[in-house]
């Protein structure tokens, strides 16, 4: 399982345990490079992050796996599935299409603005996060983004308040992560195994005309639009997500 931009593996921890209990399979949540506990590395795009998954599997002796991933993480999984289908038993993506992500320029400017926020030193983690919260809310940043994407990425380490994510590299390379994950370089590649696609009913990350393009690369894809869910389908409708994930995995692994 893999998170989206500015996310972290803990986001899927409770889901992973429930899925493991209900499918009988081991579940691993994975931090993308420059996120969470993963290494800070120069360079981010869907090929490199997809390759990171392949290297992790090789290091752990995993020959094949089912991938469940959200947004940026789904883009990484799509890249891997199209280039190394032998490693991917099946693919469940959460709210990512085959077109460029919306509001790319605004996202870049938002990340640049985060870089300009001074992190206070000589204060507690709670006080440091509170100072950043005050600045972002004053600029009318969506509270969900503040509480669930920005503040958890501010940590205390070696007595200093700092970013857990590699924010400079993410900001520099964000356009690589907001372009179509199955772009021109993958146009002629086909992943001919089961794919489940969960779309947020009120999300604009998947365009109305994406369906035909999705089937170009994923002829066995099944699309489920989830009412009353935005981009974070698994958080907005956790029960729907869990049922879809368990059903998909059990269908692939039950003989």
Q: Pick from 142, 144, 135, 140: which is nearest to 115 by CA? A: 135
Contact 195, 93 (CB under 8 A): yes
State residue 71's pLDDT score. Answer: 93
Contact 76, 53 (CB under 8 A): yes
| CA dihedral (50, 218, 13, 251) positive or negative | negative
State residue 208's pLDDT score. Answer: 66
Mean pLDDT of 142-171: 94
State residue 182's pLDDT score. Answer: 62
User: Which tokens in the block code for residue 157?
Assistant: 């380490």
State residue 214's pLDDT score. Answer: 83
Which tens digit of pLDDT belongs to each residue from 209-248? 666 778 889 999 999 999 999 999 999 999 999 999 999 9
Q: The whole model's pTM is what?
A: 0.93
CA 84/CA 81 separation, integer angstroms? 5
145-178: string of b/e by CB count within 10 Å (b at 16+)?
Answer: ebebbbbbbbeeeeeebebbbbbebbbbbbebbb
- Token pair 């692939």 in the structure block, residue: 252
State residue 184's pLDDT score. Answer: 57
User: Which tokens in the block code for residue 20?
Assistant: 């493991």
State residue 211's pLDDT score. Answer: 66
Q: What is the SS3 assignment for 165?
A: coil
Q: Is 55's pLDDT higher than 60?
A: yes
């Amino acid at each position: 399982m893999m998170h989206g931009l500015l996310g972290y593996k803990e986001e899927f921890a409770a889901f992973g345990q429930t899925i493991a209990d209900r499918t009988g399979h081991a579940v691993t949540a994975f931090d993308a490079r420059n996120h969470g506990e993963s290494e800070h590395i120069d360079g981010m795009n869907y090929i490199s992050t997809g390759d990171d998954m392949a290297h992790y599997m090789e290091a752990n002796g995993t020959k094949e796996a089912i991938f469940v991933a959200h947004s940026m993480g789904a883009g990484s999984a799509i890249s891997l599935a199209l280039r190394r289908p032998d490693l991917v038993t099946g693919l469940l993506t959460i709210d990512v299409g085959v077109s460029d992500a919306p509001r790319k320029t605004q996202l870049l400017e938002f990340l640049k603005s985060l870089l300009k926020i001074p992190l206070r030193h000589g204060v507690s983690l709670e006080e440091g996060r509170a100072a950043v919260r005050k600045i972002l809310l004053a600029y009318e940043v969506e509270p969900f983004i503040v509480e669930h994407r920005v503040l958890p990425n501010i940590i205390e380490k070696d007595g200093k308040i700092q970013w857990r994510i590699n924010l400079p590299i993410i900001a520099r390379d964000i356009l690589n992560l907001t372009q179509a994950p199955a772009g021109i370089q993958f146009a002629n590649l086909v992943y001919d195994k089961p794919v489940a696609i969960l779309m947020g009913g009120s999300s604009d990350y998947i365009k109305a005309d994406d369906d035909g393009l999705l089937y170009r690369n994923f002829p066995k894809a099944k699309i489920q639009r989830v009412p009353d869910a935005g981009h974070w389908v698994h958080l907005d409708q956790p029960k729907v997500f869990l049922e879809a994930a368990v059903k998909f995995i059990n269908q692939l692994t039950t003989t």
